[in-house]
């Protein structure tokens, strides 16, 4: 397996408050890692350490085998799409300009290439081309989130960090966005780290799920393993609802041919 991100003995504190300590994690290329845990447990902090927005107090973060302390952070971020918590678009820019922001930086004079990138990503996330000239406040919350996702993908990054990207949308839009993201993931082979508060979403989308509590990793495993072999009481409680709604006896959980795990009716 091919490691793309590695945290090695990370510590981060704010004043007296230690957020994470002895944090070790290795992420293989092409994984879709969903991250779930109690509010304030350090999920956003971990994500921001990957693109250098937050520096650890101790330990090393490696991206593509390189200690990011020694890397040019601007160059690093070009390869790492980031969709931040609470979809923040540039309010004074149209949809087109928002999505084109990074491609414009990269392609500079090649306007046709940028335009093609914008059109491609609008289509992939399911946004009508009519919306190109609109401003963020002329869009619904779900549409804004789609623009945010298109923007984070438009530079064709190898790694995509998504911090609760579907937080503020209704259930129908959420399911559509989940399906679109899964398609993007399958088509591009990108490595995704996706923070969510929703355990069904974490189990549905992730090839691996990282469960955190109080800055500690509770479990990092495939969804089926989480359901069958919860490593701690915290994980057991987290997945309890999913195990119940499944309705299948435990020995069938691994063998469900439809979704592998949860929320299905047979
Ligand atoms: N700049 C800062 N100064 C002081 N404390 C901070 C700072 N940034 C974050 N924290 C604290 O660090 C802890 C972890 O924050 P983080 O944003 O990583 O949590 P989270 O797991 O993403 O939570 P949520 O699910 O609510 O988004 C929290 O207790 C938060 O209050
Ligand atoms: Mg957060």
- CA 263 from centroid of its chain's CA atoms: 22
Residue 134 counted as domain residue = yes
Burial class (CB in 10 A: 0-12, 13-18, 19+), 194: buried
Q: Ligand 1 pocket test: pick from 13, 41, 218 the residue with the most ligand atoms within 8 Å of its Cβ.
A: 41
CA atoms within 13 A on the CB side of 86: 1
| Cβ 36 under 6 angstroms from ligand 1 | no
Question: What is the per-residue pLDDT for 140?
Answer: 86
Question: What is the per-residue pLDDT for 260?
Answer: 46
Angle at 219 between CA 215 and CA 224, to 5 degrees: 150
Residues of the chain with pLDDT under 50: 255, 257-266
Structural domains in the chain (count)? 1
| Cβ 40 under 6 angstroms from ligand 1 | yes
| Cβ 43 under 6 angstroms from ligand 1 | yes
- CA 68 from centroid of its chain's CA atoms: 20
Question: What is the per-residue pLDDT for 249?
Answer: 60
| Cβ 42 under 6 angstroms from ligand 1 | yes
Residue 97 counted as domain residue = yes
Residue 23 counted as domain residue = no
Question: From the CA of 239, how far away is ligand 1's center (Å)?
Answer: 24
| Cβ 65 under 6 angstroms from ligand 1 | no
Question: What is the per-residue pLDDT for 1?
Answer: 62
Residue nearest to atom 4 of ligand 1 (CA): 14
Residue 247 counted as domain residue = no
- Which atom from ligand 1 is nearest to the alpha carbon of 42? 18
- Which atom from ligand 1 is nearest to the alpha carbon of 46? 18
Question: What is the per-residue pLDDT for 5?
Answer: 98
Helix (H) or strand (E) run with residue 150 in it:
helix 141-153
Residue 101 counted as domain residue = yes
Instruction: Give the span between the Cα atoms of 216 and 58, in whole angstroms.
Output: 16
Question: What is the per-residue pLDDT for 259?
Answer: 46
Collapse the DSSP code of 137 into the 3-class scheme (helix H, G, I; strand E, B; otherwise coil) and give the result.
Answer: helix
Residue 14 counted as domain residue = no
- Its domain, for residue 146, covers 88-156
Question: What is the per-residue pLDDT for 217?
Answer: 95
């Amino acid at each position: 397996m091919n490691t793309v991100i590695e945290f090695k003995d990370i510590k981060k504190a704010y004043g007296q408050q230690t957020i994470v300590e002895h944090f070790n994690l290795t992420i293989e290329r092409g994984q879709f890692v969903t991250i779930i845990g109690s509010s304030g447990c350090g999920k956003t902090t971990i994500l921001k350490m990957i693109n250098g927005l937050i520096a650890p107090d101790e330990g090393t973060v490696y991206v593509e085998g390189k200690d990011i302390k020694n890397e040019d952070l601007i160059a690093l971020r070009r390869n790492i799409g980031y969709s931040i918590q609470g979809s923040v678009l540039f309010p004074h820019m149209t949809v087109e300009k928002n999505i084109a922001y990074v491609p414009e930086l990269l392609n500079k004079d090649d306007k046709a290439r940028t335009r093609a990138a914008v059109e491609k990503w609008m289509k992939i996330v399911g946004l009508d081309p009519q919306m190109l000239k609109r401003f963020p406040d002329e869009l619904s919350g779900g549409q804004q989130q789609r623009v945010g996702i298109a923007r984070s993908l438009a530079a064709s990054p190898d790694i995509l960090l998504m911090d609760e990207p579907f937080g503020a949308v209704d259930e129908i839009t959420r399911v559509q966005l989940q399906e679109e993201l899964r398609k993007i993931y399958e088509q591009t082979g990108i490595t995704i780290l996706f923070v969510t508060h929703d355990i069904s979403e974490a189990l549905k989308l992730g090839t691996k799920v990282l469960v955190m509590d109080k800055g500690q990793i509770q479990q990092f495993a495939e969804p089926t393993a989480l359901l069958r072999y919860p490593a701690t009481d915290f994980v057991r409680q987290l997945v309890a609802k999913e195990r119940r709604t499944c309705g299948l006896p435990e020995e069938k959980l691994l063998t469900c041919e439809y979704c592998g795990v949860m929320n299905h009716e047979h």
